[in-house]
Structure 1
Amino acid sequence: MKLRELAHSRTGDKGDTLNVSVICHNAHHYAHVLAHLTPERVKDHLREVVRGDVIRYELPLIGALNFVLRQALGGGVTRSLALDAHGKSISSALLDLDLPAPLN
């Protein structure tokens, strides 16, 4: 199943660093998403874009994860030749990641 079936996403940027939040539609799925959406998995899925570290912050009280993606915007918004220099399409790409279906 696609991550988008369990969560939605928001993004923000500062220079060449991108924040991508993943917010579960249902808090019941948080533990499942937490177990399968590791920083390594995110970096591998976005390997064409993310050149630096991926750091995950856990927000269990709101059923969300926040990923900080370093070196992800082609040098930064004002230096990149990318059409989506702010990285909003990266959140859509992340939501396309395949996860196993939750057991419950």
Structure 2
Amino acid sequence: MKLREIAHSRTGDKGDISNISVIAYDIEHYEMIKQQVTANRVKEWFGEIVQGEVVRYEIPSLGAMNFVLYKALSGGVTKSLAIDTHGKSLSSKLLGMDISVD
């Protein structure tokens, strides 16, 4: 299944850093998401888009986690000619990740 079937997401940005939240619709799915949506897997999922490290912050009380993607926006809004220098579509791409259901 796709991650979007059990979670939603929001995205923010600052300079060349994208900030992506993943929030389980049902708190019961949080542990499954936490096990499968790791910082390493997120970095691999984005491939060449993310040139720096990916850091995951967990917020179990909300059934959420936040990923900070460094060097992910081609230098940021003022330094890139990319169509989406704000990174708003990155959350949609992350929700397209395949996950296994227990």
Report if TM-score (shorter chain) is over 0.5.
yes
Query: What TM-score, normalized by structure 1, do the two folds share?
Result: 0.96
Match of 1:77 in 2: 77
Question: How far apart, CA to CA, are the structure 2 residues paired with 1:100 and 1:7?
Answer: 13
Question: How far apart, CA to CA, are the structure 1 residues paired with 2:48 and 2:95?
Answer: 15
After TM superposition, where is structure 1 displaced by more than 2 Å over at least 4 residues in a row? none
C-alpha deviation, 1:69, in angstroms: 0.1
Query: What TM-score, normalized by structure 2, do the two folds share?
Result: 0.97
Stretches of structure 1 lacking an aligned partner (at least 5 in a row): none
Question: How far apart, CA to CA, are the structure 1 residues paired with 2:80 and 2:33?
Answer: 31
C-alpha deviation, 1:48, in angstroms: 2.5
Question: How far apart, CA to CA, are the structure 2 residues paired with 1:55 and 1:98?
Answer: 20
Pair 1:12 & 2:12 matched: yes
Identity of counterpart residues, as a percentage? 57
Question: How far apart, CA to CA, are the structure 1 residues paired with 2:82 and 2:2?
Answer: 25
Alignment of 1:85-104 (within 5 A): 85-101=85-101, 103=102
CA RMSD of aligned residues (A): 0.6
Stretches of structure 2 lacking an aligned partner (at least 5 in a row): none
